[in-house]
Amino acid sequence: MNKQLIMLPGDGVGPEIMESAKVVLNTVASEYGHTFTYHQHAIGGDAIDRYETPLPEETINACQNSDAILLGAVGGSKWDSLPGHMRPEKGLLGIRKTLGLFANLRPVKGFAPLLHTSPLKEEIIKDSDILIIRELTGGLYFGKPSERRDNAVVDTLSYHRSEMERIIDKAFQSARLRNNHLTSVDKANVLESSRLWREIVDEKSKDYPDVTVEHELVDAAAMKLITQPKQFDVIVTENLFGDILSDEASVLTGSLGMLPSASIRSDGVGLYEPVHGSAPDIAGKGVVNPLGMILSVALMLRHSFQLEEEAAKIEKAVNECLEQGYHTADLHIEGGKQVGTKEITKMVVDHITSNSVSDCICSMYA
């Protein structure tokens, strides 16, 4: 496999975690015979400083001709005084819109050594593993009109059937990569848009007879994420509900530094980034946690390139590092050892290569 990857380090700790991503990708390429060619471009505050825009045309053109994009982080207090259209975050929003990245994938998985940091009781969050799929380009955030009228205000929740169909298809396809269980979240007892959403889910379910489908109202889903998170596998929902539920779910595991995310479209091209921010206060100190970025690499391999074995190998390596007690400053493992960015990246790499050797030996005697 030969893939062209765009690297957008961005701001703050972005360049450091991007370097970790590259190290892991080079290891995977060596282990499996792939070729990844990297092209680095500017976005966010870095682009503002260099090109006076958060999203240069050069970056857009490069992304449009890539197989996938990796993003570090954007933003920081340095640019807080700039007008809205010049803020670093406009670069991220702009590239999502330009590339038509309509599906946001947010995995939320509890790692056993970190469960004690969850706000939930350990027995509730233990073994939870959820993938939230949020529609990203439609709904209340983009509907027109959206305006004030004298002493009144109006926002419009608007979707075309095709916009619902493509995100629902993506959810069914993702469920097939996991445990064949899909929960569709709506507000069909109140909203006409949700009633159409539910109808389409039921129609699509006939094309995926191996996937079990359940419907949940959004308020009930929000409650069950707290009380019964293990009952969920893949959750699919529209933009506003997905925004709220994914943020709720992100705190369940106790660490934002461990969470990857993806924004993708139907042909598999996607933008992959960790959930955490740019953390300018620790930039350049070698202490940032790169595991969210490394797990975003695994997401890219799985969802853009269908390299399931390689993705699973990375995830296993991350888990083994944590189980052995190694962690960065933002994490806490009782009796563990705190290490820096480069050290934990090397440990992940060592586990990837050692697992490959073990797999090879086992296959010889199978």
Task: Decide if 95 contacts 271 (C-beta within 8 A).
Answer: yes
Q: How many helices (H) and strands (E) does the chain have?
A: 12, 14
Residues 49, 54, 58, 62: what is their CA dihedral angle, to the nearest 10 degrees? 120
SS3 state of residue 238: coil
Q: How many Å apart are CA 154 and CA 132, to the nearest integer? A: 28
**Could you list the active site residues?**
141, 187, 219, 243, 247
Task: Decide if 193 contacts 162 (C-beta within 8 A).
Answer: no
291-300 exposure pattern, b = at least 16 Cβ within 10 A, e = fewer: bbbbbbbbbb
Interstrand relation of 234-237 and 181-186 (parallel, antiparallel or unpaired) = parallel
Listed residue (324, 333, 262) closest to 292, CA to CA: 262
